[in-house]
Amino acid sequence: MVYSEARDEGIVAELDVADWRTWPRANPKRFQSKGHGYLWVDVHVAPDAAATYADRDAVPAPGFRVLMAGYDTATATKPTGLTLMAKVSATDWFYAVLGQDGKKATLQGAALPVCTGCHQHAPRTPIFGLAP
The footprint of ligand HEC (CB under 6 A) covers 33-36, 43, 66-68, 83-85, 95, 97, 107, 112, 114-115, 117-119, 122, 127-129
Task: State which residue, 12 or 132, has the beta carbon closest to ligand HEC.
Answer: 132
Task: State which residue, 56 or 76, has the beta carbon closest to ligand HEC.
Answer: 56
Residue 116: DSSP 8-state: H
Least gap, CB of 24 to ligand HEC (angstroms): 13
Strand 39-45 relative to strand 31-33, pairing = antiparallel
Least gap, CB of 91 to ligand HEC (angstroms): 18
Task: State which residue, 35 or 76, has the beta carbon closest to ligand HEC.
Answer: 35
Least gap, CB of 90 to ligand HEC (angstroms): 19
Task: State which residue, 32 or 89, has the beta carbon closest to ligand HEC.
Answer: 32
Query: Cβ-closest residue to ligand HEC?
Result: 35
Residue-level length of the chain:
132
- Residue 1 CA to residue 43 CA, distance in Å, equals 19
Least gap, CB of 58 to ligand HEC (angstroms): 13
